[in-house]
Amino acid sequence: MPVLCCPAVAVPEHTITLEETLELAERIHADHDELPLALKLITNTGVATRQLVQPIEETLRHPGFEERNSVYVREAKARIPDVVDRALKQAGTAADEIDAIIYVSCTGFTMPSLTAWMINALGFRHDVRQIPIAQLGCAAGGAAINRAHDFCLAHPGSDVLIVACEFCSLCYQPDDVTVGNLLCNGLFGDAVAAAVVRSEGDQGVRLERNGTRLVPGTEDWIAYAVKSTGFHFLLDRRVPGTMEQLAPALRAVAAEHDWDATDLDFYVIHAGGPRILDDLSHFLDVEPGKFDHSRATLTEHGNIASAVVLDALRRTWESGTVAHGARGLIAGFGPGITAEITLGTWLTRSSTPTPEPATAH
């Protein structure tokens, strides 16, 4: 059965703390009627630090959509190669052995996809299948794992590379001053992550089953308004409450595999915000401590969109606390509102190499 190998993650070198975020908000939006509420919401995210691809002075400057997208392409090409190289090494494979590349990102746009550039620049074969996913937002990390699982089942013997590249700071819009956007300005961070799904393996998460669920009538709750200045993130205040509807979906997918979603050994959950984790813990009846690795990603990096589940999985791996044969669940949540759900069994070898921690580049 396909095995998801240990991810590699890199965060940029420009760090902003919660205290600096609050000070900037107070300075830039001093006359905002709802500033106290925005500051409270930002504080309650639990995000202590975030990393940005540009210094904060450049991040706050909006030079236009064209230049912003040029920054996205430049920074992606500068940062992806190292992460891909580490992911391949951690999987014990090489670029010329990869049969498909799934590239997920919602914070910049290129055509052709950056999969084409990776094939030309990073040593992949020219017959590699390209599977870019651009519009699933934060759910795309889970979707990438599931589509890699599907590909390996459909093409026995194949190996798939997943790359998630998210520079959320490039979506900062200085003229959007709703409370929701002020909150987002203090929540999202930047990261690049990669992982390999191998058709066979004895170390990683053996992928058992996957499923997807959409909450009806919520397609405008998480969205982009595409304007001349770029992508304007829209976040409905009802989004955090969707875990009450999605918890049964996680139970249902697990039940299809005769597993109990409330009683698994590990959980890798998209940490969109603290309430997502708190509510899922409550409605899924899972001890809050089971989400510690997801919460750590949120605290140290912020919401890094599709890269969250890969970073939380890396942390789970590094913890060394998951035993061989442990059963677990991976879930990404995003626009739709969509849940991408994966069930897997933890595999370890007797001598497990220690994965490299998330690096700053």
Phi, psi angles (nearest 5°) of residue 178: -70, 155
Q: Quick check: 124 and 232 in contact, CB under 8 A?
A: no
State the catalytic residue, choosing from 5, 6, 106, 138. 138
Q: Quick check: 269 and 294 in contact, CB under 8 A?
A: yes
Q: Where are the alpha helices (DSSP H) in 51-205?
A: 56-60, 65-91, 114-121, 140-154, 179-185
| Radius of gyration of the chain measured on its C-alpha atoms | 19
SS3 content of the chain, % helix, strand, coil (to 5): 40, 25, 30
Q: Is 76 left (phi over 0), alpha (psi -120 to 50) or beta?
A: alpha
Q: Say how far residue 343 (Cα) sits from the centre of its chain.
A: 17
Q: Which of 162, 136, 138, 139 is nearest to 150 (CA)?
A: 162
Q: Is 301 left (phi over 0), alpha (psi -120 to 50) or beta?
A: alpha
Burial of residue 57 (number of CB atoms within 10 Å: 0-12, 13-18, 19+) = exposed
CA angle (118, 123, 125) in 5-degree steps:
90
DSSP state of 95: G
Distance between start and end Cα atoms, the chain: 34
CA 6/CA 349 separation, integer angstroms: 13
Any catalytic annotation for residue 152?
A: no
CA 124/CA 127 separation, integer angstroms: 8
CA 261/CA 285 separation, integer angstroms: 9
Q: Quick check: 9 and 83 in contact, CB under 8 A?
A: yes
Active site residues: 138
